């Protein structure tokens, strides 16, 4: 079979099934084209994308500005490694650090690599600046976290599917309940070896779990008091997804472009990925001020592809689009509308218990057991009706469309979702 030959959905699925490792369980939609909020399958059926590649495609599919920058750079210079300088990395670092208000940026490729980078940075800071004795540093993490798939990261996961039979596990992590400030206080107080607190401002993979108002702020204050680094994993929540440039911006009233307000929480270490790429090309980054990033010296850390010229221009274009098109503002407004519409439906529904989220990172909780197939069945029906979404944990369905959606499209999607859900009412 020629690679250019047209393929049916059935054949594409069969190929992946036979030749690919079975490390995912995809919805049976075989996509061959995307534009803005839409994707098309190989048979030509059009869908609203309500996952956005787990929030990597915030700027919409194939955004011309991002693709243009990528193609142009790809025809000029693709990779130098960091053995030499390139003429765009510095510009990206300047742009991103000014946007997020940190002194320095360390570029990587994927979210998991950026999390690993943040953990190494935190540990090195702990030994060299805080004075924790060698190999004693501990980092506090939260139950039901999702930070990626490396051996160290899954070591502090509590998801048996992600963890089982991948041991021995990496030491040095203490797990506490999410959204429980007393648990954090207990873990931090009376333990001089705590180096950092790694947290998702909203737990995305866990089912879009939004912590109580004031939790992050109180957590940051505790960290400050005990000289513990507050590490925000904004790989999924960052870059306008939750209606602010960052979820840690909280209710800072700026809502969008060129924020000059004071964020609710200013992390010591900020981890970005996913939408920093506009969905075009892997780009991730760790940001911190000099007092922390200064501990990293030549040879301590690196990546062949991290900070490559294509990634640098893609990262800049991805941030440009977020600012130019005021995507944070749009996500904020459409998110309010989406939850209001869904809540109206839920008031008379026995299949959906609740909708929760911030901006355009939302989830509905299906009224069925964790083990039931109802959420999957609903996603299959949504697919038939022209909208792609995926269950997260058992009976939860995440709704995260590209942020370039307009109000008319959102209401169209609400109509598809409510029509589909009605067919499942008991």
Ligand X SMILES: *Cc1c(COP(=O)(O)O)cnc(C)c1O
Is residue 146 annotated as a catalytic residue, yes or no? Answer: yes
- Pick the stretch among 104-112, 208-216, 314-322, 341-349 that binds ligand X (CB under 6 A): 104-112
Q: What is the DSSP string of 116-161?
A: HHHHHHHHHHIIIII-PPTT--EEEEETT----SSHHHHHT---HH
Contact between 99 and ligand X per CB under 6 A = no
Q: Considering the rule CB under 6 A, would residue 395 count as an interface residue with ligand X?
A: no
Measured from the CB atom, is 195 or 199 closer to ligand X?
199
- Taking CB under 6 A as the criterion, the residue among 50, 100, 125, 146 binding ligand X is 146
Question: Considering the rule CB under 6 A, would residue 357 count as an interface residue with ligand X?
Answer: no
The most distant pair of C-alpha atoms in the chain lies apart, rounded to whole Å, by: 65
DSSP letters along 58-107, please? Answer: TT-BT-HHHHHHHHHHHTT-----TTS--TTHHHHHHHHHHHHT-SEEEE
Nearest Cα residue to 152 out of 112, 125, 201: 112
Which range binds ligand X by CB under 6 A, 42-50, 141-149, 239-247, 374-382?
Answer: 141-149
Residue 367's nearest CA partner among 345, 380, 352 is: 352
In angstroms, rounded to a whole number, what is the distance separating the alpha carbons of residues 180 and 142? 9
Point out the catalytic residue in the list 41, 233, 268, 368: 233
Q: Which residue has the tokens 């964790």?
A: 370
Q: How far is the CB of 150 from ligand X (least distance, A)?
A: 8
| Given the residues 100, 102, 146, 424, the one annotated as active site | 146
Distance CA 342, CA 415 (A): 10
Q: In angstroms, what is the minimal distance from the CB of 399 to ligand X?
A: 15
Nearest approach, Cβ of residue 202 and ligand X (Å):
9
What is the footprint of ligand X within residues 229-268 (CB under 6 A)? 233, 235-236
- Side-chain-side CA neighbours of residue 98 (13 Å): 12
> Can you tell me which of 50, 54, 173, 424 binds ligand X, judged by CB under 6 A?
54
Point out which span in 34-42, 68-76, 197-205, 261-269 binds ligand X (CB under 6 A).
197-205
Q: Three-state SS for 385?
A: coil
We find the least distance from the C-beta atom of residue 114 to ligand X, in angstroms, to be 8
Query: Which position among 34, 201, 204, 207 is part of the footprint of ligand X (CB under 6 A)?
Result: 204
- The window from 1-9, 44-52, 198-206, 305-313 that contacts ligand X (CB under 6 A) reads 198-206
Q: Give residues with Cβ within 8 angstroms of 399, minimum separation 6.
A: 50, 338, 357, 360, 362, 363, 364, 389, 417
CB of 230 to ligand X, least distance (A): 15
Q: Which of 111, 201, 243, 263 binds ligand X (CB under 6 A)?
A: 111
Distance from C-alpha of 387 to C-alpha of 382, rounded to nearest angstrom? 5
d(CA 339, CA 414): 10
Nearer Cβ to ligand X, position 209 or 332? 209
Task: Find the residue with minimal CB distance to ligand X.
Answer: 111
User: Total residues contacting ligand X (rule CB under 6 A)?
Assistant: 16
CB of 49 to ligand X, least distance (A): 17
Quick check: 94 and 287 in contact, CB under 8 A?
no
* Between 88 and 283, CB nearer to ligand X: 283
Comparing CB distances to ligand X, the nearer of 130 and 358 is 358
Q: What are phi and psi of 32, to 5 degrees?
A: -130, -5
For the bound state, the minimum distance from the C-beta of residue 205 to ligand X, rounded and expressed in Å, comes to 6
User: Residue 301 and residue 123: Cα distance in Å, rounded?
Assistant: 13
Smallest distance, ligand X to C-beta of residue 252, A: 21
Which is catalytic among the residues 124, 130, 220, 274? 274
Taking the C-alpha atoms of residue 6 and residue 40, their distance in angstroms, rounded to an integer, is: 14
Q: Which of residues 93, 116, 200, 333 is near ligand X by CB under 6 A?
A: 200
Inter-residue contact 12 to 6 (CB < 8 Å)? no
Catalytic residues: 146, 233, 274
Q: Contact residues for ligand X (CB under 6 A)?
A: 54, 110-112, 115, 146-148, 200, 204-205, 233, 235-236, 273-274
């Amino acid at each position: 079979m020629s690679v250019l030959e047209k393929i049916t959905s059935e054949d594409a699925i069969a190929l992946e099934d036979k030749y690919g490792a079975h490390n995912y369980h995809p919805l049976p939609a075989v996509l061959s084209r995307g534009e803005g909020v839409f994707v098309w399958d190989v048979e030509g059926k059009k869908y609203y994308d309500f996952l956005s590649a787990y929030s990597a495609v915030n700027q919409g599919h194939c955004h011309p500005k991002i693709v243009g920058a990528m193609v142009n750079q790809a025809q000029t210079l693709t990779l130098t490694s960091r053995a030499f300088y390139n003429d765009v990395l510095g510009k990206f670092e300047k742009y991103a650090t000014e946007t997020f208000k940190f002194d320095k940026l360390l570029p990587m490729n994927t979210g998991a690599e950026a999390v690993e980078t943040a953990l190494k940075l935190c540990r090195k800071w702990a030994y060299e600046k805080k004075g924790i004795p060698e190999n004693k540093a501990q980092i506090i993490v939260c139950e039901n976290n999702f930070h990626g798939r490396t051996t160290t990261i899954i070591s502090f996961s509590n998801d048996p599917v992600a963890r089982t039979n991948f041991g021995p596990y990496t030491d040095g992590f203490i797990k506490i309940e999410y959204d429980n400030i007393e648990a954090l206080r207990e873990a931090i107080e009376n333990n001089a070896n705590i180096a950092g607190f790694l947290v998702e401002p909203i737990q995305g993979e866990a089912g879009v779990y939004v912590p109580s108002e004031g939790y992050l702020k109180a957590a940051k204050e505790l960290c400050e008091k005990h000289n513990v680094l507050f590490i925000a994993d904004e790989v999924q929540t960052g870059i306008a997804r939750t209606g602010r440039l960052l979820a840690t911006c909280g209710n800072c009233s700026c809502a969008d472009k060129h924020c000059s307000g004071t964020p609710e929480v200013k992390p010591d270490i900020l981890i970005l990925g996913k939408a920093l790429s506009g969905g075009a090309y892997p780009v991730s980054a760790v940001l911190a001020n000099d007092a922390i990033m200064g501990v990293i010296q030549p040879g301590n850390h690196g990546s062949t592809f991290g900070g490559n010229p294509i990634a640098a221009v893609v990262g800049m274009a991805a941030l440009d689009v977020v600012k130019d098109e005021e995507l944070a503002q749009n996500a904020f407004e459409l998110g309010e509308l989406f939850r209001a519409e869904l809540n109206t439906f839920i008031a008379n529904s026995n299949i959906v218990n609740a909708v929760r989220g911030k901006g355009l990172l939302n989830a509905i909780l299906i009224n069925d057991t964790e083990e039931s197939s109802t959420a999957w069945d609903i996603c299959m029906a949504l697919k038939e009706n022209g909208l792609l979404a995926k269950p997260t944990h058992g009976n939860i369905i995440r709704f995260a469309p590209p942020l370039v959606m307009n109000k008319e499209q959102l209401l169209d999607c609400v109509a598809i979702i409510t029509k589909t859900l009605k067919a499942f009412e008991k």
